[in-house]
Chain A
Amino acid sequence: MTIAPAAALRPRFVLAGNPSVLWALLVLAIFTLGVSFLSEGMGVGLISTSFVKTLGKTLCLCLAAVAMDVVWGYCGILSLGHMAFFGLGGYAIGQWLMTARTTEIVAQSLAGQPLPPTPRELEQAVATQIFGVVGADEFPWIWAFSDSLGLQLLMVVLVPGLLAGLFGWLAFRSRVTGVYLSILTQGMTLALSLWLFQNDSGLRGNNGLSGLQNIPGLDGWGQATLSVAFLWGSALALALGYVLFAWLTSGRRGSVIRAIRDDEARVRFLGYGVEGTKLLVFTLTAMVTAIAGALYYPQAGIINPGEVAPLASVYLAVWVAIGGRGRLYGAALGAALVSLLSSWFTSGGVPDVPLGFATIRWTDWWTVLLGLGFVAVTLLAPKGLGGLFDLVPRRPSRRQGDWGPDDGAWRREEG
């Protein structure tokens, strides 16, 4: 390989060199404005509030998928634990939402009494209200910051970041790679969900956190307006995340990340810090996924340990694979398409197919279709849906000759 000319090394702003990012942001902006215009909360009311919420949630899933794409499609770490970070983000914000909301309600109900409640009485009543279902009547230690929005927002990124950092440091340090790493991340996810399922974990066990759709202090807004606000919030987060990851995967740093995917040992021999890069990518994507979760669950309204189960993380990988790994818009597209299709099929929106001897009810057979469709995509279209964009003709490159045999590497683009 020849040394690249100096001009190629000069830092350029990521958006300038990468038109797909601009296109993606444009599509996202048009989509968000369009939905707002058609929504009940701000516009003509063609789209119901619950569907606006579904779209907002889908944007959050897209952000998680984009993060997953960076860690898997670019860095080659098939993490089967990113939905656990997503869930942790949801739990962190849920703690504040639930505490603040319950405090409002309890304060109202105590206001009728002759004496104003003491702070201890108030806390006791709130705790009984929240933890009564698991037979406890005081705040567990993990709720220590739950009365402060700022601290709890910090927890949204800190807790998953620390967990991912610790786990990644342990795993990458001992050079656990490939399927081993996938299984370990799956084990971590399973451990986390089993822990959350316990009543004495302090996060209401099986019941999870509920009532998250009511945002304290914003009672006057109404769900219709809130749903649009969250749609914008999710779109903004997705846009920022997209630019962040486009920047991360561009330039020399991006080349190192992709090189780690293609041949880790060779990158190490070339003198790059493989462990540090992997840890950075793993932790950063975990944090972004957690932010996506923190935006998702106030729209969903409820979070329970089932959302953290290993299966959810595998589905995230499935979305990314269907959308197309190694390109950010592919991941977002896959997540949006599959999750929307999923909710369309499983909600009974698709008409049943009568076969004479039996009827195919899509609520029953959708999972089968998804599973087999996924196998088909893996086998027949490894580039996923994003591969369709390659069919768009481009300006031919002036360079002639061999670009290397491996489809996964970006030698042509970097050449």
Chain B
Amino acid sequence: MKKSEPLESWERPIPLSLLFMVALAVHLPLLLMKLPLQSYDTNFHIFFSSHYVDHWFDPWNTKWFAGFSQATYPPMPHYWIAVLSRIMGLDLAYMAVQMIAILLLVVGVYRFSLLWVRPRAASIAALASIFLGSESFLIYNAGQLPTTTAAPLYLIALPFLYEWLRHGHGRPFIKATVLFIAAAAGHHLTLLFGSFIFALPVVGLALLDRRDGESTSASLILGRAIAIVSAVSVIIGVVLLPFWLSLLHHPIDQTTIPHASRANFILSPEWGLNYFILPYGALILAVPFIFIRGSSETRLRPLLFGFWVTFILGLGGTTPLGHWLLGHAFEVLTMERFSYWAGLLALPFVGLLSVKLIDRFRFWAVGSLAVMAVWTCAMGVAWGTYRITNARDVNVNVVADWLNRGGHDQYRYFTLGFGNSISRLAVMTDASSVDGEWYTGRLLPELTRYGGASLTQAKYFGTAGLESLRAIMMHADKYGLKWIFSNDPYYDPLLSLAGWRPVDYLDNKTITVWAKDGVPPAMPVNVAQRPPRWQGLIWGTLPFGSSILAILVFLIPERRRKQTRAEYPMSEDEVETQRVAS
């Protein structure tokens, strides 16, 4: 060892407690301000949670699409919101779950980074995760709570996977399995794609490390990988059984809905700004380092490959790789989650780079990195202010009041020009709508046939959206559809000439209530698709239970290591070569 004197403070890993405090200092005020409410999907997840508040064991929700099954979306975060809402209300419960996910990400990134780099670099990677642009983007603009909840669980599980592959102990096997299942109960796509993106590099790493310390054969590692994949698959098959059955009965064969995350970011630069520049932010500057360092260190190559594939997929339609690799799934998935995952995979490299810069430039490096990190995070948070994602001005309270009085909720309704506010409206009224925001859950042929998204934004989907709107209006009698709330005069000619008449004005005449006479009260539809009671019991028990189990299992203490890792006197710019799980 070259040094024997005490380490300078910047040469030591940042304690987790300090990292938590930074995470709370950055995100807690933003969440208490309820900033995510302005995002695309936050209200949608709150809507799902609101259903579980009153119908814990019944995933059938009649408030959207004249009836749909919430078993089409893994429910774990929704159930947690439902539980916490008893104490603090739905909005704050959402924020609380999101805050927990942010804290879990700090732990997850730290643990995952420890597989690849030394603790000091890993702790800086964990610090960077707090400021990750794509994390801020998903929380404050996209509102993708399940994605941001499942990824940390997955990252926390990966070191246990590594330990199981290397050493084959039962404890890491159980821990990894339970955490994978909890992650799947939070977000199915994270598990499906995370298996390839996150787990394969870890398997690759285990293979590379197999001769270090306790030697393990490649076939044994692969056998263990198959064993854990089999166990996790079977258990997830049971835990999310209603989800798989729903998928089996109603495969996603709807006409594809265009999504800008699949755009070509060079030919459509405004979407490049939205889905590339903002999510990555200053991380873009680290990409050359990731390529060079990831290539030069054999041990980092699995991580480099994982990052590269995810990075390219995150570019959406800028490259044809997503179309080639994912096939039809490319037309269905939104690709911004790949940028998020690529950002997470890049963080160990960011830790390495930061260590290198700090060791060389000291305070200048710290200052510059801090500015870039804060700027990246701030832009991810603030983007929704500059590029408004929601019809924020719509006063849904008056619409809910109108629906909730005088028996108006005996009939179905939908809105025009309300943007994402339809989720908020659905939380506030018991009336049933034929519209909704969870397109995979749609069963009405008028909605699935044309390639439009929600009816409320029909005009933005051109002929497809407007055809869908006309089709549902034509069948108003069949669905008991009597009310249309329009916040956009664009639709007035169609409504008027198709026989709908304005009957009331709300909110200072900004919202017109249109009605169709002669419509019978709404009757249940799609009843045959309603999940049976036993599926409701599984749905209300196992996914939420898996997260409780994950908490309990995670609290089981680790085995004592033979080597203590209290001192890290070597240069932090070296990659760890003997790795342990925690």
Same complex: no
